[in-house]
Amino acid sequence: MKRQIKLDHFVIGAESLERGVEYVKDTLGVDMPFGGEHEKMATHNHLMQLGDEIFLEVIAANRNEVPPDRPRWYGLDDPYIRSCLEKQPALLAWVINTDDLEALAQAASFSLGNTELISRGNLSWLFGLPEDGRLLAGGMLPYAIEWHTDSHPSNGMADLGCRLAALEIFHPNASWLTSALGSIDALELVQVNQIAPNECPFLSVDLETPRGKVKLQSTKVSNLKQ
C-alpha cells in the first residue's frame, strides 16, 4: 500500500529570530508571530500558515539557552550556513510528514537520520535527525516528521494571507534526486529541474502573498556535506 506523504513546512534559517522576522516582513509583507522553543535543540521559532496543512517556519539558535550536546538541526551550527545567515536569513530546507516515520526511513534510499522525539510546548513529534545536524543533500532532500496530534498543528497558526503556489528543485543530477524522492513517495510534491553539471543545486518556493507572488530561493550550497 502506498504511503501517505504530504508536504509539511518550509524552514527559513536566521542568525537571530529578530532578523528572521524582519526578513519575512520585508519580503512577504507580513509579521509572523512567535511559535515557541525547542529545548532539545536550543532553538526557537516563528510560524504561520501557507494553506492547507502547510506552514512556514523561521528558526534560529536560542542563545539564551545552554547549547545542546550535539549540532543543532537544519545545519544551524554548520560554519558555512552560519556565515550565510549572518549576511541574510535564507530558505534552508523543506519537510514532509508521514504517519509512520520508521517505515518511511526503512524504505528510503538515503538516510533520514535517527528517529527522535522532539517537543515544543504541549506539542510533540517524531523527527528524522542526522547526528551531525546536516541538511539532507544540502537541503534538496526533505526532512521527515510524524506529528503526535489529532489535527495538523498549522490549523492553530496565524493565517496572514500567504499561500504556497509551487515548490521546485534545481539540481545538476536530477535523475539521482528523482530516484531518492521516489523512494519516499515524495515526487508528486515537487518539480525537479535539471541544471548544468557545474551549477549549484537550490530550492525555489513560490508564494502568493499580500504583496503578490514572491519567490524564495535557498542559498547555493555546493560545498556543504551531502
> Domain extents for the chain?
1-226
Tell me what the mean pLDDT of segment 101-112 comes to: 97
Decide if domain 1-226 falls under CATH 3.40.50.920. Answer: no
151 pLDDT above the threshold of 80 = yes
Which segments of the chain are extended strands (E)? 6-13, 34-38, 43-49, 55-61, 90-97, 114-120, 123-129, 143-147, 163-171, 191-194, 202-209, 212-217
Residue type for 91, please?
A: L
Rounded Cα distance between 39 and 68, Å, is 9
**CA-CA distance, 41 to 118, in Å (whole number)?**
9
pLDDT bucket at 43, cuts 50 / 70 / 90? very high
- Residue indicated by cell numbers 545552554: 66
Burial class of residue 22, CB neighbours in 10 A (0-12, 13-18, 19+): middle
Could you tell me which residues come within 8 angstroms of residue 145 by beta carbon, excluding any fewer than 6 positions away?
A: 8, 95, 96, 97, 98, 101, 125, 126, 127, 128
The rounded distance, in Å, linking the Cα atoms of 81 and 75 is 7
Indicate if the pLDDT at residue 226 is higher than 50. no
| pLDDT exceeds cutoff 60 at 221 | no
Mean model confidence pLDDT for the chain: 94
pLDDT band at 219 (very low <50, low <70, confident <90, very high): confident
Helix, strand, or coil (residue 120): strand
Q: What are phi and psi of 114, to 5 degrees?
A: -80, 135
Cβ count within 10 A of residue 52: 12
Percentage of the chain with pLDDT > 70? 96
Q: 225 pLDDT exceeds 70?
A: no
Residue 2 pLDDT: 57
Question: Per-residue pLDDT averaged across 44-69, rounded?
Answer: 96
